[in-house]
A and B are shown apart, each in its own frame.
Chain A
Amino acid sequence: MAFLTNFYAFLFYFAAFVLVSGLAFKIVQYSRTPAPLKIPTTPAPTKRSGVVFRMMREVVLFESLFRGNKWTWIFGWMFHFGLFLVTLRHLRYFMEPVPFLIQLVQPFGIYGGLAMIVGLAGLWIRRFYVDRVKYITSLSDHLILGLLVLIGCTGLLMKFVFHVDVVEIKTFYQGLYSFDIKPLPADPLLMLHLFLVASLMIIFPYSKLLHAPGLFFSPTRNQVDNPREQRHIAPWAKRLEQQ
């Protein structure tokens, strides 16, 4: 078993490294790239506080998507909110002691897992049955959906059908913090689940999953509508003026 445990320990160190460094690279790239012109999609807030509120509505409620397509919104929101609950539920593996709020959220995490699967299924069906969506879908879109569905299903199976020793899993992750590698239960379902999660972490910074940080940097959403009041100029554009 030592081999498998070591392999998974390495895999998670690697995945965490790729995820963090890849995202950090992207976030630095986005924030370093200037937005030389004011391009908020109007009507837009005229104050910073309004922009914060607008962004919150986008992040929490998917406001624009709601206006755009109700079905996609329902499924997309279900999936993301489900994923959010599931993530909260999983935090118990990474924290000791487990904060009260995380204890509280445990049962909801299970509903979250179900919502996630339903949402993903709905989104996937659209890719086959709506001709426009089918047209824009590439192989990677199917693969990412498949990956997420599998992660969800293996997780739910472990909860409802083939139970695994959660205490041992927790020991494994706690050990990773101090480079003290503790044995992982040799459960095939768990192995698959963890492998898929690690894969997701690895592709995150190199795929469309970048929509998560991207949203915060989207100039049409995060700019204040005040071009007449305040002169907005990018460094490279400023250089043109000095010529």
Chain B
Amino acid sequence: MAKATFEVPELTQYTEVPAIQPGAMAHSATFKAKEEFQKDLGFPGELVDDWQSKAIDKMGELLGRYRSLQVYMDACVKCGACTDKCHYFLGTKDPKNMPVARQDLMRKVYRRYFTWGGRLFPKLVGAEDFTKEVLDDWYCYFHQCSQCRRCSVFCPYGIDTAEISMAAREIMDSIGVGQKYCNEIIGKVYKIGNNLGLPGPALIDTLEGLEEDVYDETGVKVRYPIDEEGAEVLLVTPSADFFAEPHVDGLIGYGKVFHEAGISWTMSTHASEAANFGMFIGSYENMRRVAQRIREAAIQLKVKRIVFGECGHAWRVAYSFLNTLAGPWDFLDPRYPVPQHICEFTYELIQEGKLTFDKSENDDKVLTYHDSCNVARASRMGDMPGGQFEIPRAIIRATCNHFYDMDEDTIRDRTFCCGGGGGLLTDDLMEVRVKGAKPRLDALNNVIQEKGVTHMAAICAICKTQFSKVLPYYGMEMDQILSLHQLVSNAIVLTPGPDDEEEDEDDDLDGGDLDNDNEEMGDEAA
């Protein structure tokens, strides 16, 4: 763990609402995207000359494109209900991290240029010119929002700061001020196919290694196929699942579930990434372009169903947007929703009695479950509203004997973001990430103390990477965060196939090497 250059907050039993401390995070500056990365996405390479008028034009365009933005700019009454709901405010004390204050950074510009009140009486209504200082504030604070939507749950008008952050980032991109982390990653997806920039042959290699590992450990040949034409299911999963801990244990679990279900499946080198960072930068065009790869892969591999691996915002884009961005899916099997979540897939098999578990395999752990923000508040699983909360918990209960939920105020649709979502999962935002994790970790610490919880399961690549990084700052262990399907993987009883009889003799493979080499890569993977 890197030594912290900032003060790590003390965990408290309940997350208290701090007194505001103006400017506490004003120094936070995530790296800007260099020209080459901007160009890949169709954005100018550096701040354009007449940026102010260009930005205002862009804002006008977006106001006409997104009803959410138009309504949310007008509707806020400054009631303050959202002010204590953002984990970044709770962790950093900076008042500009209060959702309404974050929105106001844009709203004051909106009022100045798009409303009568702001044109005539700027002082009175808090309108301001779009100056360089305001732009700098935008860059700073719109990159301290993980687009987790917690604020929108409590707002009487459902004002979603995520929508505003996305629009702000798109406006900034359009004048040449992009964030390195997000934009570089999107470029990698275009060029290579995934966030990590893992080329096809490397993936194939890794999956072969996985098959051997699983065989060595279980004596059963579980397949991890890629680019296999004619498979029933296309699995699209975050690229972190291929390498990093604890992600890869989840992937191993998916493979075992498919094995037991007897359903053929494949991954794709073309769509070797579930994540869609186009959403984080608010760019419909880029989000669409990233999503199209999945359609292309599905057609090319002639699959009948699409299933997504564990990833929070990827699931939001998949569940809520994929039909819009890359549909219609009329060439797939109409009996199944498109796409499905791996948890829905596993849960159905459990319901049908097709999976057998030995729960005692997880007896060395006491579990809790972290609802990932985008799964909780921006998507669903199953037929019933709230299935996104119940289905993962049902899977945990089916595979583990010891499970406790965290404080009711911090789970389900009131869950706290891990602190690394929305394109903030980069080392240059470490302070924001560590401080933003405090509310979640307060609640986690509570169940650790009171219920003896040892591990927290999650179904999001960003959450997993973020927690493995920030847990040590708070004196916890990085491996206390697990993939949900790792629990499935541990407990599932595998049925040997016809060629599984003879024991494989060579045991030179050291399964441990995956863990160490690739911890660093996880950062970009999510």
Contact = CB atoms under 8 A, between A and B. Distances in A.
A218 B320 CA distance: 17
Interface string B121-159: 001111000000000000000000000010011111111
B500 to A, nearest CB: 37
B413 to A, nearest CB: 6
23 contacts: A33-B63, A38-B321, A39-B160, A42-B380, A42-B388, A43-B388, A44-B385, A58-B156, A64-B155, A64-B156, A132-B80, A132-B83, A135-B22, A140-B125, A208-B74, A215-B157, A218-B75, A218-B159, A219-B71, A221-B157, A232-B323, A232-B324, A237-B324
A131 B19 contact: yes
A206 interface: yes
Interface string A150-187: 00000000000000000000000000000000000000
Interface residues of A, number: 64
Interface in A222-243: 225, 227-234, 236-237, 240
A228 B154 contact: no
A136 B160 contact: no
Nearest to A43: B385
Contacts of B126: 138-140
A146 interface: no
Contact of A41 (B78, B160, B328): B160
B320 A136 contact: no
Interface residues of B, number: 73
A45 B385 contact: yes
Nearest to B388: A42
Contacts, number: 215
A72 B321 contact: no
B124 A65 contact: no
B390 to A, nearest CB: 10
Contacts of A34: 65-67
Given A68-B82, A214-B75, A227-B323, A135 B98 contact: yes
Interface of B: 17, 19-20, 22, 63-68, 70-72, 74-85, 95, 98, 100-101, 104, 115-117, 123-126, 149, 152-160, 163, 284-285, 288, 319-321, 323-324, 327-328, 337-339, 376-380, 383, 385-386, 388-389, 413-414
B20 A218 contact: no
Given A43-B386, A227-B320, A26 B74 contact: yes
Given A126-B80, A133-B78, A221-B158, A227 B125 contact: no
